[in-house]
C-alpha cells in the first residue's frame, strides 16, 4: 500500500480575523511575531528581516517583526500601516487569514474594509496609553460590521513590568467604553509582541494570568456563523465629484438592496 494512502486528509476550518487598534499599539509587530513563533516565516524571509531590522528597524537590538507585514516603502519610512496587509498561516487545528489594519484615523476606511470580512477582531491596546479614542472607534466599527467575538490584547506589558494592576485597569476601562456594543464574547490577554510573551505559549512573566495564550484562544474559539438579513454597508468614502452629486462608497457587509429602496445612515462615534 502506498504511503500516500495512509495519510488522512484533515479538513480544517478557516478563521478570518483582523488586528486593529490605535496607532503604535503594535499591530504589525504582533502579527510578525505570531508568524515567526508559529514557524510561518521562511528562512530567506527571516534572513532579510534580520538584515532590515538592523538598518531600518525601530526595535533597537530586537528583531523588528513589523517589517514582515509593512511592505509599502512609505509604511517603513513612517513606521505606520497604511494599507491592509493580509497574511496566512495554519496550525494543526486551524487555518488563519489575518488582516493587519491601519491605526491612523486618516486610514480608518481601510480598517472597515477588512472588518467587513472578518469573524473575529484582535484589538490591541498599548499598556502605557490605555484605551484611546481610536481604540473605541475600531471597536465600534468591528461591531458595526457584525463581528461578535473579540480578543483584547493589552500589548507592551514588558514596558509596565507585567503589572497585573495595569492589565486589570485597562480591562475595566475597555468594558466600560464598549458596554453598548454587540460583542457576544470578549477575551483579554496581557502580551508583549516584541518579546513574544503570551503570544503562542503562556508566559512565566505573568503568573497571575491563568487563561490561554492568544494563539490558544484563536485555535479554540467557536465562531457561530450568522446569516444577516438586513443590508449593511460601512461608509468608507463620500464621493462628491461636483456640487450635483454625493455618493457613499463602501463594501457591502451583509444583505442586499434594490434601486429606490430606502436606507438609514448612522453617524460614526
Count CA within 13 A, CB hemisphere, residue 53: 18
Residue 45 pLDDT > 80, yes or no? no
Rounded to an integer, the average pLDDT of 195-203 is: 95
Say what the pLDDT of residue 215 is. Answer: 96
Residue tagged 506589558 (cell numbers) = 157
Q: How far apart are CA 203 and CA 191, in angstroms?
A: 9
Residue 262 has pLDDT above 90, yes or no: no
CB atoms within 10 A of CB 254: 15
Does the structure show a pLDDT above 80 at 230?
no
Q: Describe the strand order of the beta sheet including 95-100 as a list of residue ranges.
A: 85-90, 95-100, 14-21, 120-126, 149-155, 185-190
Q: Rounded to an integer, what distance in angstroms lies between the CA atom of residue 28 and that of residue 34?
A: 10
Query: Which of 222, 220, 198 lies closest to 91 in space, CA to CA?
Result: 220
Q: Which residue has the higher pLDDT, 67 or 82?
A: 67
Whole-model pTM: value is 0.74
Q: What number of CA atoms fall less than 13 Å from residue 29's CA on the CB side?
A: 27
Q: Which of 135-144, 153-162, 256-265 has the highest mean pLDDT?
A: 153-162
Q: Provide the 3-class DSSP secondary structure of residue 120.
A: strand
At residue 63, does pLDDT exceed 90?
A: no
Q: What is the mean pLDDT of residues 206-233?
A: 86
Averaged pLDDT, 83-111: 82
Mean pLDDT of 138-151: 92
Residues in the chain: 269
pLDDT band for position 166 (cuts 50, 70, 90): very high
Question: Chain-wide mean pLDDT for the chain?
Answer: 83
Which of 89, 84, 49, 42 has its CA nearest to residue 65?
A: 49
**β-bridge pairing 185-190 and 149-155:** parallel
Q: What is the pLDDT of residue 167?
A: 98
Among residues 10, 17, 3, which one has the least CA distance to residue 149? 17
Range name among 59-73, 194-208, 232-246 with the lowest pLDDT average: 59-73
Chain centroid offset of residue 166 CA: 22
Take residue 14 and report the three cell numbers written for it.
Answer: 478557516
Give me the mean pLDDT over the 15-22 stretch. Answer: 92
Instruction: Using the predicted structure, report yes or no on whether residue 7 has a pLDDT greater than 50.
Output: no
* Position 153 confidence tier, pLDDT thresholds 50, 70, 90: very high
The Cα–Cα gap between 82 and 194 comes to 21
Q: Map out the domains of the chain with their CATH numbers.
A: 14-220 (3.40.50.300)
Predicted confidence (pLDDT) per residue in 29-42, tens digit: 899 899 989 988 87
User: Do residues 145 and 109 touch, judged by C-beta distance below 8 A?
Assistant: no
- 213 to 72, 190, 208, 220: CA distances (angstroms): 30, 9, 13, 11
Average pLDDT over residues 107-134: 89
CA distance 174 to 178: 6
Residue 200 vs residues 31, 63, 253: alpha-carbon distances, Å: 11, 17, 31
Measured CA to CA, the distance from residue 59 to residue 194 in angstroms comes to 8
Work out the average pLDDT over 124-137.
Answer: 94
Amino acid at each position: 500500500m502506498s504511503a500516500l494512502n495512509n495519510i488522512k486528509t484533515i479538513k480544517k476550518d478557516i478563521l478570518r480575523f483582523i488586528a486593529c487598534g490605535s496607532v503604535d499599539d503594535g499591530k504589525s509587530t504582533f502579527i510578525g511575531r505570531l508568524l515567526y513563533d508559529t514557524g510561518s516565516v521562511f528562512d530567506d524571509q527571516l534572513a532579510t528581516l534580520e538584515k532590515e531590522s538592523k538598518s531600518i528597524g525601530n526595535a533597537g537590538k530586537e528583531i523588528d517583526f513589523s517589517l514582515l507585514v509593512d511592505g509599502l516603502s512609505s509604511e517603513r519610512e513612517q513606521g505606520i500601516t497604511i494599507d491592509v496587509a493580509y497574511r496566512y498561516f495554519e496550525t494543526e487545528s486551524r487555518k488563519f487569514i489575518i488582516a493587519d489594519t491601519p491605526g491612523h484615523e486618516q486610514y480608518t476606511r481601510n480598517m472597515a474594509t477588512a472588518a467587513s470580512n472578518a469573524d473575529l477582531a484582535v484589538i490591541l491596546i498599548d499598556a502605557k496609553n490605555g484605551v484611546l479614542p481610536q481604540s473605541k472607534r475600531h471597536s465600534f466599527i468591528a461591531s458595526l460590521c457584525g463581528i461578535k467575538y473579540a480578543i483584547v490584547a493589552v500589548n507592551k506589558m514588558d514596558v509596565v513590568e507585567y503589572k497585573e494592576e495595569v492589565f486589570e485597569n485597562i480591562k475595566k476601562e475597555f468594558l466600560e467604553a464598549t458596554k453598548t456594543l454587540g460583542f457576544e464574547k470578549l477575551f483579554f490577554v496581557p502580551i508583549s509582541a516584541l518579546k513574544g510573551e503570551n503570544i503562542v505559549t503562556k508566559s512565566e512573566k505573568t503568573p497571575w494570568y491563568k487563561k490561554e495564550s492568544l494563539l490558544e484562544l484563536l485555535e479554540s474559539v467557536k465562531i457561530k456563523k450568522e446569516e444577516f438579513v438586513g443590508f449593511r454597508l460601512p461608509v468608507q468614502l463620500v464621493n462628491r465629484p461636483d456640487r450635483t452629486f454625493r455618493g457613499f462608497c463602501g463594501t457591502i457587509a451583509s444583505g442586499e438592496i434594490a434601486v429606490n429602496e430606502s436606507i438609514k445612515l448612522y453617524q460614526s462615534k
